[in-house]
Structures are given as C-alpha cells and as structure tokens.
Structure 1
Amino acid sequence: MKSTKVTEGNTTVLVPVPPEGVPFPPSEAPVFYNPHMELNRDISVAATLAYARRLSSQKEIDISDIRYVDTMSASGIRGLRIANEVGVSTTLNDWSDEAFELILENIELTGLSETAEATCKNANVLMHERRFNIVDLDPFGSPAPYLDAATRSVVHLLEVTATDTAPLCGAHFNSGMRKYTAVPLNNEFHSEMGVRILLGKVARELAKHDKGMTPLLSHATRHYVRAYLQVKKGAKQADRSLRELGFLIHCEKCGQRRFFHGLAVAIDDTCPSCENKMQIAGPLWLGQLHEKEFCDEVLAEMESLDLGKKEQAKKIIIACRDEFNMPFFYDQHLICKRIGISAPAMEGFIEALRSTGASVSRTHFSGTSFKTDAELDSINEVLRSM
C-alpha cells in the first residue's frame, strides 16, 4: 500500500495514496482517508479538549488519564490528533489488518507510543469489552449498528457522526425507518430533522443502559451530522432524557407545525390553519441541540489550537451557540414562495420579526433559515409588510 504524509493541526501522519484514477475519498483504497473531513476533525479536537478540561476539573483527574477511543480509526488521523493535540489516553481501533498496520506506523511516526495504543477488533466487540470516558463513533455510513455497544461503553461523552443523511432526512424513507426506528420527513428543514432523528435514537439506546444525555453541540454540515453528547448515569437521568422525545406534525401546504412530547401520544393530524392533512414525524429529540457554555469553551480552545479550518469551524460553533433553543427552523424563501412575495433581506426581516416581541435567531443549517417562537401567521404578516 502506497502512502504519503499529510499534516492536520500540528499532527503529521501517513495516509494511503488512492489507486490511479480514483479521486478522494478513495472508496477503493485499502484504508479510508477523507481530506474533506478535516473541518469535522478540527471541531472534534477543540470540542474534545474543551470537554476533557471540564471533566478534569469536575472529577479532579489528570487529562492524560481520560480514556478516549476512536472506534473506527482507518489511517488513525482523528485519534492521533486527539492524542497529540488534546493529550488524553487514546485507543485507536480498526478491524482491517492493513489499517491496523498503518496505525502502528503512525503511532511510531508521531512518537505517541506512551499516549496511544492500537487494537484490531470489531468495533462492537471492543466497546462491549471495555469502558471509555469518551467514545468517538465515526463510521462510514450509519452509526445505528454500533449505538448499543457505544452507549454501553461510554462513561462521560459520546461523539457520534452519521453520514447517511438521506435515510436520516427522509429522502430514503424506508431505510431511515429501519435504521433509526423513526419516521423522518424530507422537507425544507430536513437537515435539522436528521439531527433530531439521530439524537432521538441515541437517547433511546442510552436509556436501555440506564443512562441519559445532554447535547452539548450538534451540527449538520455538508453530507454529515455530528453530535457531542454528555452522558449521565442513572435511571432518573434516562427518564429525564426520554421526556425530551416526541413527535412533530407538519403541514406541507401552509407550513404549520406542532410538537407533542411523549412516546404514546394522541395527535390530531388536521391542520388548524388550512385543514390539510398533516404529516407526522418521530419519535425524535425535541430538546436542546447545543449548550451555550460548552460552545464558548470550544471557541476558547480554538484560539490556541493550530487548525487548518479554524475560521470555518468558528463560524459553525458561533452559529450553533446563538441559535434559538426550539425545534425546527423555518426557511424564509419557502415561506415567501408560499405566500407569493419576493424574499426580503434576511437581517432586515429578522429585526422586523424581533420588533414584534418574538424571540428569533438565524441558524447554522442554511443562510435562509431562522428559528422563532412566533406563530406562522405572525411570520407571514411581517413578511407581507416588508
């Protein structure tokens, strides 16, 4: 296997050279490496460091004693960056023999043999065998087959990526139903739908092990969803998390939506505005997606880190931090299309809506998305007046 050196952050590792004529990401390369996920890894380094400092302060343990696992390491670049730039005790795992050998080379290359270890196992087997303070689940595709083992293994922080956005967001409806045991909707806020379907699935998996969760940071970027979830042990914590699950009903015709908490709810699926039949989605997570304090801690860590995608990463974290805490954004352009007007400038519209007394913010999901506690009729009225 041919390899070449790449540097991300201040960590240099060997990655495979794809076969001739095969562009990145090298789906046919013996060991997977995707340079387009550097932004994801930059945020991971800062978020893991922020949480490691918080955990070290709360539990009075040294950062080097915090146990982190990169469950599907491939070349090892994510886990080695965590070991090198965060300083936690890192396990890098992959069940591919070729990946395992490359990880061993990279541990030697980076001089991290005292901080990082390599294992060659099925990820589920490893997570059922051992407990880790921080579990990083970053599969190629859906994390669903690994969530039972991950939620069993994790003690403090679960970091999870899903790249199967089509099933999560309702574009591949039956696949989403099978993998996440939830009904997704493929509409204007499908990206947030994917985040909340994933978090709802994780909350249900954690509850099986008498664990609850608090989302610290969740974002949908390009082709993937990424979430950082603080895990709390105990049946009461699991019950508290389950109370954040529920259902959405949405009118595709006029845009009206309503939320219902609970897993056994009675829902009238007739739209109160236009009497159209409403679509039902769920169960999904209706609670917070981000913790403002944690986002500030991540931003503070980014200032001192050498990150190749720092400015782009900061924009995502700032947008997440400043999002209004409620389920599902509106798309301004789609609303304007429904009511037959041209879309005004976003900033002017946000200020006009805020002047009515409503809470409102832009979101990280798209440039035309916003969240508000204003009723849809009020939103339409503000838009028509501009």
Structure 2
Amino acid sequence: MKTRTIQEGGTRALVPPVPDDGQLSISSASVFYNPEMELNRDLSVASIAAFSQIMSSRRHLEMSEITYVDALSASGIRGLRIAKEVGLNVTLNDWSEEAYTLIKENAAINDLTDKVRICLGNANALLHKERYNIVDIDPFGSPTTYLDAASSSVINMLAVTATDTAPLCGAHLNSGIRKYSAVPLNVEYHSEMGLRIMLGMIARDLARHEKAMHPMFCHATRHYVRAYLEVKKGANKTDKCLKDLGFIAHCTKCTARSVHYGMAVHIPEKCELCGEETSIAGPLWLGPLHNREFCDSVLVQLTNRELGKKEYAVKIVELCRNELDIPTFYDQHLLTKKLGISAMPMEELLKELTGDGFKASRTHFSGTSFKTNAGLKEILDILRRFR
C-alpha cells in the first residue's frame, strides 16, 4: 500500500495518499484517512486530556491507568495521538488487516509499540467483551450500529462522531428515521437538529444498560457532529437523564417552535403564533449541549498544545462555552428575509434582546445564528425597529 507521512500535533503517521480526483471515500483507499478531520482530532486530544485530568484528580489515578479505546482506528492516528500526547492506556482496533498492519507501523514510528495495544477484529465484539474508561466511536457514516456495544463497554466517557448529516438533519428523512428511530426535520436549525437527534439515540442506548449521560462538549462542524459525554451508572441517574428527551413542534410557515419534554406528551397540532399545522421532530435530546467548566478546561488544553487547527478549535469551544442552554437557534438572515429588511449587526441584536430583559447569545452553529429565551414575536418586533 502506498503511503505518505503526515504530522498532527506531536504525532507522525503513515497514511494513504489523496486520490487523483481529490475525492475521499471509504472505497477510495484500503485504509481511510481524512485530513479534513484534523480539527476533530485536535479537539479530541484536548477534550479527552481535560476529562482524563479531572478523572485523575478525582480518583488519584495516573494517566496511564485510564483506559481508552479507539474502536474503529483505520490509520490509528486518533488513538496514537491520545497515547502519545495525553498518555492514556490506549487500545486501537480495526477489522481490516491492512489497517492493522499500518497501525503497527505508525506505533513504531512514534515509539509506542510497547505502550499501545493493537487489535484486529470486529469493534462490537471487542466492546461487548471489554470495559474501558473512555470509548471513542468515530466511524465513516452513522455510529448507530456501534452504540449498543459502546454503551455496554463505557465506564466514564463516551465520545461519538456521526458524519451522515443528511439523514440526521432531515435531508434524507426516511434514512434518518430508520437509523436513529426518530423524525428529524430539515429546518433552518438542521445542524442542531442533527446533533440533538444523535444525542437522543445515544441516551436511549445508554439507558438500556442503566447508564446516564451528561453532555460536556458537543458540536456540529461542517459535515459532522461530535459529542463528548460523561457517563454515570445507576437506574435513578438514568431515569433523570431520560427526562431531557422530548419533541420539537415546528411551524414551517412562521418558523415558531416549541419544545415538549417527555416520551408520551400532548403536542398541539396548531402553531400558537399563526395557527398553521406544526411538524414534529423527535424524540431527541432537549437538555444541555455543553458544560461551561469543562469547556474552560478544554480551552486550557488547547492553549498549552501545539496543534494544527488550534485557532479554529479555540473559537468553536469558546462559542460553545458561551452558548445558551436553550433548544434550537434562530437564523437572523432568514428572519430578516421574511420581513423584507436588512440584517443588523449580531452584537447589536444581542444587545437589544438583553436590553429588553431576555437572555441571548451567539452559537457555534453559524455566524448568523443566535439563541434566546425570547419568543418569535418578540424577536421580530426587535428586528422591525431597525427596518
């Protein structure tokens, strides 16, 4: 297999060359490596390092005693970075013999041959058999086929990526329903919709193992969504966690929306603002997406490391840290287009909202999006002031 050498953070690796047509796909190489996911991996190193330090201080553990598994390793770059740059006890697994061989070569390049465990086999079989403090699922496409095994295996933290954003965000509705056992809507906040649909699925999978999740840092970036979840065991904790599941009623005419907590709840068929019929999304996660203190810890890790995507990573985490814990954002450009007026500077809009007694923040989802506890009518009234 032809390879080229790349450097990410403090780790070198042999990876397949970029195809001649420049189009990456799971079938374009025997071992998949996506350079566009370096940001994802930089954030992974910082987030897992931050969580591991918290675990270490709570339980008086050495970092090398904390077990981490990259169950779908491919070239091994993510897990090797965790081993070399964070210092955890790492297991790397892939079903492909070519990947297995390449991971061994990459471990040797980084002097990690005796410090990491490399497995060849089915990810689900490994996860059902063994337990790890931190389980990382980063597949090409949907993570759903691995969630039950991951939920069984995980002790303290579950990290999950999904790159099948079209099904998650409602663009491929039937596929989203099949994969995630939920109805996604392709609305202006579709990126947040996809993240919450995935989190809802994870919460339900964990619940079958009497485990609860607490989102620490979750984001939707470009073509994927990623979640870092603290996991706790216990039926009472699980029952409390499931109370953050529910549905969103969305009016496609005026874009008003309402949230409804619970798995069996009454949802009004008509929009409270304009009287049109609403569309229902869910079940999905309606709870917080971030933990502010944890995001601060991730920022410290990012600041103290040499990373290729540091500036972008810091920006994402800062936006997530300051984002209101309110389901669904509004897009100012869409609202002003409906009103037939020009958009106002985002900081000015946030100032007007807070000046009227509401909470408001930017979001990490897009530069034109914001969150607020103001209703749609109040938001539109503020925007009309500046027509």
TM-score normalized by the length of structure 1: 0.98
For 2:149, the equivalent position in structure 1 comes to 149
Secondary structure in 2 matching 1:2 = coil
Structure 1: how far apart are the matches of 2:310 and 2:340?
40
Q: RMSD of aligned C-alpha atoms?
A: 1.0
2-structure distance, mates of 1:223, 1:58:
35
Aligned residues: 386
Q: Counterpart in 1 of 2:293?
A: 293
Given that 1:26 and 1:34 are in contact with CA atoms closer than 8 Å, whether structure 2 keeps it comes out as no
Question: Counterpart of 2:262?
Answer: 262
Report the counterpart of residue 221 of structure 2 in structure 1: 221
Tell me the alpha carbon deviations over residues 163-208 of structure 1, each in whole angstroms, 9 at most, x when there is no partner: 0000000000000000000010001000000000000000000000
Q: Distance in 1 between matches of 2:370 and 2:21?
A: 42
Of 27-36 and 356-365, deviating more is: 27-36
Q: Check conservation: 1:185, 1:281, Cα contact below 8 A.
A: yes
Give matches, 1:266-345, under 5 Å: 266-345=266-345
4+ residue runs of structure 1 moved beyond 3 angstroms?
A: 18-27
**Distance in 1 between residues matched to 2:159 and 2:43, nearest whole Å:** 11
Match of 2:169 in 1: 169
SS at match of 1:343: coil
Return the alpha-carbon distance in structure 1 between the equivalents of residues 334 and 61 of structure 2: 50
Give distance in 2, aligned partners of 1:16 and 1:248. 43
Give the superposition deviation at 1:85. 0.2
Q: Residue 58 of structure 1 corresponds to which residue in structure 2? A: 58
1:295·1:318 contact (CA, 8 Å) conserved in 2?
yes
Does residue 379 of structure 2 align to residue 369 of structure 1?
no
Change (3 A) 1:22 1:368: closer
- Equivalent residues in 2 for 1:12-27 (5 A)? 12-18=12-18, 20-21=20-21, 23-24=23-24, 27=27
SS in 1 for 2:95: coil
Q: 1:380 and 2:383 equivalent? A: no
> How many angstroms apart in 1 are the aligned matches of 2:26 and 2:134?
28
- Tell me the CA shift for residue 306 of structure 1: 1.1
Q: Distance in 2 between matches of 1:85 and 1:128?
A: 27
Check conservation: 1:200, 1:284, Cα contact below 8 A.
yes
Once the two structures are TM-superposed, the CA of residue 229 in structure 1 deviates from its matched residue by 0.3
Question: Where does structure 1 lack aligned partners over 5 or more consecutive residues?
Answer: none
Distance in 1 (CA, whole Å) between partners of 2:338 and 2:249 is 18
Question: Could you list the per-position Cα deviations for residues 263-317 of structure 1 after superposition, in whole angstroms to 9, with x for gaps in the alignment?
Answer: 0011111011111001100000000000000000000011111101000000000
**2:48 aligned partner:** 48
Q: Secondary structure at the match of 1:119?
A: strand
> C-alpha distance in 1, partners of 2:149/2:187?
32
Q: 2:141–2:163: 8 Å Cα contact kept in structure 1?
A: yes
Secondary structure of the structure 2 residue equivalent to 1:306: coil
Gaps of 5+ in 2: none
Indicate the residue corresponding to 2:243 in structure 1.
243
Partners of 1:247 and 1:282 within 8 A in 2: yes
Query: Aligned to 2:344, what secondary structure does the other structure show?
Result: coil
Q: TM-score, normalised by structure 2?
A: 0.98
Aligned counterpart, 2:29 = 29
CA–CA separation in structure 2 for the residues paired with 1:383 and 1:351: 12
1:339: Cα distance to partner? 2.2
Cα distance change of structure 1 residues 22 and 188 upon mapping to structure 2, 3 Å threshold: closer
What amino acid does structure 2 have at the position aligned with 1:241? C
**Alignment match, 1:4:** 4
Paired residue secondary structure (1:361) = strand
Alignment partner, residue 207 of structure 2 = 207
Look up the match of 1:195: 195
Distance in 1 between residues matched to 2:187 and 2:154, nearest whole Å: 33
1:113 is displaced (CA, Å) by 2.2
State the identity %: 56
| 8 Å contact from structure 1 (residues 76, 106) kept in 2 | yes
